[in-house]
Structure 1
């Protein structure tokens, strides 16, 4: 229901809108953007919000009651409006729009069969025209799980060695004892390696029958010729392939490439489930959660589809949608996707058959995940409330920021900050601080600098202040952090995470040295332990990244004519020492500041 104080002015303003495609921006108190929408006819669409009707959902009614003003932008086409709407949602992150949590690109498994010893690599872009690509997958965890399964099943190396470069350099390899073909052995030919690797590629391509038929033929031949060890290897390989295949649900014919999208709208939380079907197999799925306040109607689902695919390298020719998607929004999505891919993309909304079953399965999956999410959220809420009670906090610490320091002696001094919101890591907010004022090992001075630099950004537009700072250390570390905070004009609750003599989380401690025992508080202890381990992992990993970069730069600085600036420029262009070593003189000279004379020095140094 429209707020009575604003109803007349909003209706009058809406009546003056043009009957053109465009985007409208709803603003609430203080001019805050609460919703962004698009329409084929702005006047008709916006006017609907401000007239009483039985067709508006509860969430739409709630949003409308908060509208104080609106703006609009006229577009040439509805497709252009859809693209602009997506950009504005990313910019404003309105409360009532469904929105993805990040802009990640999706990983692929890449294979270049032109290499003498091909291998699986993970990439987020399909740039090499000679390579085969499998995916995309929802994340690197899935990708590395698949690669690991391929390595175990087909006897491929899991080490970091490169062939033929490292061939014959290893006298004893533990991987060989657990089934690796061991291409590091000079007796194993590239042909043997490529044969096993081709089987793995065939499996990823869905050519199961071809692999098992060939292996069965080899097994029978080996058995008939009393080559029993070779026959056993083939037998075990067939069993492993069948076992691996059982884990992948076949949902369509082998040539089918399709995404299936279904939404479930709950009161407290909603979700969209996406199934990825590649080669007729359900290879991966992904869940996107949205708060119960976000509107999940046809227009919102259309916007979600646009946002889902806007940064993707690969979009299948068919996308099946289960749920509320009007014919006009369906046509709009098809037009936008086809324009993006330069080929026809079909959106289907099945009413029966196998596609409908898949949509129903995706919706059931979304509903189940919503229930699990709510249970987990309720458990986390209780844990955070208990933490607040134990620590005497005035508010429940929904946002926790944790700090740790890592260094190697007096070098590579690094502070890391991780963020947990509602008990879950928010990796997009993680930060790293490489010391600017501290040149020797001093944890307290390093902590002061890190917290001071963090506080300096709390006044930035859109900045979110934490409810609690956690410091990896004792009372003295907490005191250093509090000193930096006071100097910056802030007073944020801060506790130290104390470890025992076995480096395990033991208690929390305040600036005064009083400890808060958490070992008997299982859920609180589990959360603090998780945060402490995560900040420790993140800080060390980033410190090591900095160390490796510095080492690469220092190696290049040994070359006559190459200083710090030129070393960084070379690494920025080539990405690493191995590529620099392989580059010819003309390629090196393309880097700013690298003359032919310096390029020759580089080639001579790494010869």
Structure 2
């Protein structure tokens, strides 16, 4: 651990202006980003007696090795810069809202000629109208199923839509009256777009006009003794009313607002958000965070608002209700995103206060549920890391763990994986995979040696670029020669983090003594002696250390063993996924590459169209000709080539057109495991 006094700025060197600051560790990686109205006042608070600091703040300042800052002109600029740096560097000591799964939303693709209603997740696209988010996808589908009686907008994919136009027959929804079937010309593009816009109006809360119109049409049909039409309109009216009942009115004045509530303790905080549109709750979402920095309720609200609206500025409503007011700069920032004034306040009375109490109860329940989940508990993760450090006799807890695994299928398509866990959590952006082409065969030890060598040779090259060995005598044995002075930056010339710039505190290999010895030998050849190594054998879950004849056996109830198992299993999964993908590509080439006149694009088109080689082999020449880009002569060639071969039991990924073997890829035999 570093002493904060070793990198404390000189007195008077820190400006009093607003700005953003970054703490970096010994490897130059950003571990914390913060903003301040006065940089001097804020940074000075970090460089006091460590015993007086919040425990997590103390951990951060002792982990850091340097601090730097950037001066800005206003607090709003500081807020924007802080948000962009947190997104770019992902500092591990900043507040992180975990479990922020991609919530489902209802999307209407108004940018298409024939708009489509669909359930979607992820980033928003231009020209698409979104409603939600919803807690569950089935809640959207139930609502859509009711509304399609009245607004029969298409819900099929583009592929199904084109197929129906080609054959001149609609899908099942077209036959049962839940799609206007524009694919076969039952309605024009303009009429279908009008249906889609009416659907959007209803979902946006403008329901009164549609209900009155249907009721009037029902009465007119009954008066003219068109009882079947009147009954159908009655059922449509009932469907709309049931859809409205799913989102009860909570604010009678038709308010558009987001309500944000928090439940917190000393270690964690849960955030719940209700999205109210037109006085009705249209969506709900929630997050959980470890309080890895010393932050109050207003600070948590600020971080939540940044995450909620930072990349979805069009979602900022007219009113945002919160339990505590953040800095005024957040208010100005939100108003700038919306392009109009945003009312950011704490509700004091009435329906809005009652609804905020409901959101608060949801947050408390979410925090209680989260605490029952073993792997998500910060205290549990800390205990697991400490148990690993004690069992392996490490000088400090391994904040960064890298695990390597080898995978192949009977000696072919040999690949390796590298997964990274930081603070006990997977850091998937730093996962890496390796192809091993120098040899084939079931030689896991040799493969492990090669992979470790390649990974840490890249680490030495990155250290060379950052100029850490400006004096050649300081470079370890095996390091690249002629290291330039460099700029000490952990970022490349494009501003992205260098891929292998950071070493782990603990290197785990999936295997026993032979794999551990291979890893140690690879590190020794490169002159690296400050990385701890261990292996985890699957049969008895034994932990093998270099040079020891007997393994370390952790108790089955040990949190440290549980974490090592998670790391090993994740490396195994990542390696097998890559190995299967390579094998699938090779098998695809074996089945279709030799067909004359059939290139990569048309191969994928065939596989995607039919979905499996079995269906492709059973297709007639006329059916093959329906695939875009496949002429009759090519279709005849494909049919003849496939008919002359023995059928295979391979499925096809219809999204990518790749063949997937039903058999399971396996990793090679390891010491201490059953072969």
Aligned residue number for residue 316 of structure 1: 316
Structure 2 residue 271 is matched with structure 1 residue 269: no
Structure 2 residue 346 is matched with structure 1 residue 349: yes
Structure 2 residue 331 is matched with structure 1 residue 334: yes
Instruction: Summarize the Cα distance change of 1:375–1:494 in structure 2 as closer, same or farther, 3 Å threshold.
Output: same
Separation (CA, whole Å) in 2 of partners of 1:233 and 1:17: 72
Separation (CA, whole Å) in 1 of partners of 2:342 and 2:538: 53
Residue 198 of structure 1 deviates from its aligned partner by: 7.3
> Root-mean-square deviation (CA), in Å?
6.5
SS of residue paired to 2:116: coil
Aligned residue number for residue 120 of structure 2: 122
Q: Deviations over 1:339-394 (max 9, x none)?
A: 344443332232333333344443443333333333324897779969989xx866
Q: Deviations over 1:417-459 (max 9, x none)?
A: 5566787655444444455546789888766665665565677
Aligned residue number for residue 583 of structure 1: none
Separation (CA, whole Å) in 2 of partners of 1:39 and 1:429: 30
Structural mapping, 1:181-260, within 5 Å: 189=186, 201=200, 204-206=203-205, 235=235, 248=247, 250-252=249-251, 256-260=255-259
SS of residue paired to 1:492: strand
Separation (CA, whole Å) in 2 of partners of 1:79 and 1:257: 25
Instruction: Summarize the Cα distance change of 1:485–1:307 in structure 2 as closer, same or farther, 3 Å threshold.
Output: farther
Separation (CA, whole Å) in 1 of partners of 2:60 and 2:334: 30
More displaced, 512-521 or 192-201? 512-521
Aligned residue number for residue 373 of structure 2: 376
Aligned residue number for residue 166 of structure 1: 164
Q: Deviations over 1:483-510 (max 9, x none)?
A: 3564245663333556xxxxxxxx7577
SS of residue paired to 1:163: helix
Structure 2 residue 108 is matched with structure 1 residue 73: no
Residue 313 of structure 1 deviates from its aligned partner by: 4.7
Structural mapping, 1:491-502, within 5 Å: 492-497=533-538
Separation (CA, whole Å) in 1 of partners of 2:258 and 2:319: 5
* TM-score, normalization by structure 1: 0.62
Q: Is the 8 A contact 2:94 2:292 kept in 1?
A: no
Instruction: Summarize the Cα distance change of 1:68–1:297 in structure 2 as closer, same or farther, 3 Å threshold.
Output: farther
Aligned residue number for residue 285 of structure 1: 285
Separation (CA, whole Å) in 2 of partners of 1:185 and 1:32: 55
Q: Is the 8 A contact 2:100 2:286 kept in 1?
A: no
Instruction: Summarize the Cα distance change of 1:491–1:111 in structure 2 as closer, same or farther, 3 Å threshold.
Output: same
Separation (CA, whole Å) in 2 of partners of 1:179 and 1:465: 62
Q: Is the 8 A contact 1:469 1:493 kept in 2?
A: yes
Separation (CA, whole Å) in 2 of partners of 1:525 and 1:61: 27
Structure 2 residue 83 is matched with structure 1 residue 86: yes
Q: Is the 8 A contact 1:334 1:345 kept in 2?
A: yes
Separation (CA, whole Å) in 2 of partners of 1:418 and 1:218: 63
Q: Deviations over 1:251-276 (max 9, x none)?
A: 33595443323333411223333333
Instruction: Summarize the Cα distance change of 1:80–1:187 in structure 2 as closer, same or farther, 3 Å threshold.
Output: closer
Aligned residue number for residue 133 of structure 1: 130
Q: Is the 8 A contact 2:21 2:67 kept in 1?
A: yes
Aligned residue number for residue 479 of structure 2: none
Instruction: Summarize the Cα distance change of 1:289–1:5 in structure 2 as closer, same or farther, 3 Å threshold.
Output: closer
Match of 2:522 among 472, 481, 487: 487
Separation (CA, whole Å) in 2 of partners of 1:197 and 1:362: 32
Aligned residue number for residue 482 of structure 2: none
Separation (CA, whole Å) in 2 of partners of 1:38 and 1:386: 30
SS of residue paired to 2:372: helix
Separation (CA, whole Å) in 2 of partners of 1:496 and 1:105: 35
SS of residue paired to 1:13: coil
Q: Deviations over 1:222-249 (max 9, x none)?
A: 9x86869x969985x8777666655546
Q: Is the 8 A contact 2:416 2:575 kept in 1?
A: no
Structural mapping, 1:373-522, within 5 Å: 373-377=370-374, 401=403, 403=405, 405=407, 415=416, 426-437=427-438, 453=454, 460-465=500-505, 468-470=508-510, 479=514, 483-484=518-519, 486-489=521-524, 492-497=533-538, 508=541
SS of residue paired to 1:267: coil
Residue 547 of structure 1 deviates from its aligned partner by: 5.5
Q: Is the 8 A contact 1:273 1:362 kept in 2?
A: yes
Gapped regions of structure 1 (runs ≥ 5): 499-506, 568-575, 579-601
Aligned residue number for residue 98 of structure 1: 95
Separation (CA, whole Å) in 2 of partners of 1:84 and 1:296: 21
Residue 325 of structure 1 deviates from its aligned partner by: 2.6
Residue 287 of structure 1 deviates from its aligned partner by: 1.0
SS of residue paired to 1:540: helix
Separation (CA, whole Å) in 1 of partners of 2:123 and 2:176: 32
Instruction: Summarize the Cα distance change of 1:543–1:73 in structure 2 as closer, same or farther, 3 Å threshold.
Output: same
Q: How many residues align?
A: 540
Separation (CA, whole Å) in 2 of partners of 1:465 and 1:39: 33
Separation (CA, whole Å) in 1 of partners of 2:218 and 2:445: 66
Separation (CA, whole Å) in 2 of partners of 1:83 and 1:445: 49
Separation (CA, whole Å) in 1 of partners of 2:541 and 2:432: 23
Aligned residue number for residue 11 of structure 2: 13
* TM-score, normalization by structure 2: 0.57
Q: Which has the higher contact order (CA 8 A, sep 6+)?
A: 2
Residue 289 of structure 1 deviates from its aligned partner by: 0.6
Larger Rg, first or second structure (1 or 2): 2
Separation (CA, whole Å) in 2 of partners of 1:435 and 1:152: 51
Separation (CA, whole Å) in 1 of partners of 2:581 and 2:68: 49
Q: Deviations over 1:149-171 (max 9, x none)?
A: 45655487677842143357599
Instruction: Summarize the Cα distance change of 1:184–1:340 in structure 2 as closer, same or farther, 3 Å threshold.
Output: closer
Instruction: Summarize the Cα distance change of 1:528–1:606 in structure 2 as closer, same or farther, 3 Å threshold.
Output: farther
Residue 406 of structure 1 deviates from its aligned partner by: 6.8
Instruction: Summarize the Cα distance change of 1:219–1:546 in structure 2 as closer, same or farther, 3 Å threshold.
Output: farther
Residue 218 of structure 1 deviates from its aligned partner by: 8.8
